[in-house]
């Protein structure tokens, strides 16, 4: 699905895209994926349903495009020359992202993934894998600079980074805050990165 494809009917007003995505995220956070309808998104955005269908063919397209755009706009890929600094900046930004309005929407989506295989595949591709790839690139740059030894369990560190944030967000009743990010970095990720055989 290409949201920039030529529209049906009137030419598309691109200025409405952000408002429609915001409305989709708000409805998703409130009612979950299964109960989300194009009518509800249109009402939330004060737009006609046809306005939405000119951009997205289905609610799956709308939700995944919304996730993709949010991630691209809000999560940095720092390259300061220090893997510790880069990981701290990434983790802080991702934690802030998840604890903002998108956090509730992400929780609503994750609860639906076991029952919606098409949604699960698209969510992994648009939301989870890009974050994993950013962490891997940060670590790979550290390896090339010699900050990290070749013995570091890179695959484990990459998986642990995202898993720890999502676990804290979705399964505990504890804050995903700066203190937690610092503990994750200094007590888990950096010791693993600097491990020597």
Residues making up the chain, counted from first to last: 197
Provide the whole-model pTM: 0.80
Token pair for residue 109?
A: 């989506």
Contacts of 42 (CB under 8 A, 6+ apart): 23, 48, 49, 51, 52
Rounded to whole angstroms, how far apart are CA atoms 182 and 114? 32
Pick the closest to residue 64 from 2, 5, 135 (CA basis).
2
Q: What is the DSSP letter of 55?
A: T
Q: Is 45 helix (H, G, I), strand (E, B) or coil?
A: helix
pLDDT in tens, the chain (197 residues): 454 554 444 455 666 888 999 899 999 989 988 899 999 999 999 999 999 999 999 999 999 888 888 777 777 899 999 999 999 999 999 898 888 877 778 778 887 888 889 889 988 888 888 889 999 999 999 999 999 988 899 999 999 998 999 899 888 889 999 999 999 999 999 999 987 65
Q: Is 47 helix (H, G, I), strand (E, B) or coil?
A: coil
Tell me the Cα Rg of the chain.
Answer: 19
């Amino acid at each position: 699905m290409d949201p920039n494809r030529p529209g049906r009917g009137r030419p598309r007003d691109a200025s409405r895209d952000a408002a429609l995505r915001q409305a989709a995220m708000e409805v998703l956070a409130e009612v979950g994926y299964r109960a989300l309808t194009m009518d509800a998104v249109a009402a939330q955005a004060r737009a006609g349903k046809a306005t939405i269908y000119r951009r997205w063919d289905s609610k799956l397209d709308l939700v995944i495009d919304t996730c993709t755009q949010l991630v691209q706009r809000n999560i940095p890929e720092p390259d300061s020359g220090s893997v510790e600094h880069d990981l701290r900046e990434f983790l802080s930004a991702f934690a802030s992202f998840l604890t903002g309005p998108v956090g509730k929407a992400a929780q609503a989506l994750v609860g639906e993934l076991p029952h919606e295989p098409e949604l699960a595949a698209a969510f992994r591709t648009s939301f989870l894998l890009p974050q994993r790839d950013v962490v891997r690139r940060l670590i790979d740059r550290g390896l090339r600079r010699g900050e990290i030894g070749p013995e570091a369990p890179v695959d484990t560190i990459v998986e642990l980074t995202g898993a720890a944030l999502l676990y804290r967000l979705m399964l505990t009743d504890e804050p995903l805050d700066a203190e937690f990010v610092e503990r994750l970095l200094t007590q888990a990720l950096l010791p693993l990165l600097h491990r020597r055989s």
